[in-house]
Amino acid sequence: MSDTIFSKIIDREIDADIVHEDEHCLAFRDVNPQAPMHILVIPKKPIEMLARAEADDQALLGHLMLTARQIAADQGYGEAFRLVMNNGAAVGQSVFHLHLHVLGGREFSWPPG
């Protein structure tokens, strides 16, 4: 996987408004927020997209989900938030480093998109 803007944020080559970091992941505010809370949760391990994740990534993927839940709670949206993960350019993935969008603070429609 080539360097992405997210790998540069992990390496502190690019500034970001970081709200969480641990040994497995980093979370920061999206620079183009689509909701009052729009935080990206990214693994430190470079995985291009969910379709490229391996069986040994299972614990990491679960960690990302639980981290997203905790971030939503910390931000005051623990009972009402949306998680989005795009997989591939055809569905809107623009940075090819797996990431979760944690969104909250406004009403969302269904179906999404």
Q: Which residues are catalytic?
A: 99
**Cβ-based neighbours of 9, under 8 Å, separated by 6 or more:** 15, 16, 26, 28, 42
Number of H helices, E strands in the chain: 2, 5
∠ CA 39-45-48, nearest 5°, is 75
Report the Cα 74 to chain-centroid distance in Å: 16
Contacts of 62 (CB under 8 A, 6+ apart): none
